[in-house]
Amino acid sequence: MDDLDAFSERMWPTLDAALAKLAATSFRSDPIGGERYSRATSIISSAYKRHGQILGRALLERLKDCARFQVWTEDAFKFGPASRLELQKAMPPLAYRDISLPYGEAEQSIPVDLIVYDTGDGSVRSYNVKRGNGVYDAGKKRLIQQELLRTQMHLRDYARSMGATVDRAHAHIIFYYGLRSIPEPWSLIAEELDAHFGFPVEAAIEAVNDRFRSGLHALIEAGGAD
């Protein structure tokens, strides 16, 4: 079994579970859309939300196949008050890469989709994964950037608290389909992932997308006519 076969075996149960939940999606029939199109609209809306999580899981599972990476998720990455105070200085974003703050005190926490420790070069990188097929308003963009910068400031010490020997720490956001709400070098899109990781990931993620797309379309078409 090659690594893509192993990747598929790990991912397909996740997709099957997601499709089963979509099949059970409840909906209210709209007087204009009717039962068929109301159902399809509800399923598609739910699918968009689930797809972002699927992208993050697919990337994590694929990176497990790279021998030099240790990868995990963090359900509650802690932000201490020191990083909030640093944000108030309103420095250029890249200046925050030079700031390393202690990790552990929590006035707020967020989930981080993926932490990657590269044992080859001693770097740790964090990623939150978004579909990147739509545009956020100014308030949401500001929140995304603030969370990204606070992650950056605590990331090095976080990795050390996990037992990693760290030379460099970088926080990123992936906007998979290309609409960046945060500029480079903080953001990545699908076509940049293979070069960024030095490991092929995009083809494996697209295999997941193809399977999810086919299952989603079949589910919608099974709805029949009004």
Tell me the pLDDT tens digit for each residue of 22-65: 999 888 888 888 888 899 999 999 999 999 999 999 999 999 99
**Could you tell me which of 170, 125, 209, 14 has the C-alpha nearest to residue 201?**
209
**Residue 188 contacts residue 202 (beta carbons within 8 Å):** no
Edge-to-edge strand ranges of the sheet holding 187-188? 69-79, 108-118, 123-130, 168-175, 187-188
pLDDT tens figures, 171-204:
999 999 999 999 999 999 999 999 999 999 999 9
The whole-model pTM stands at 0.92
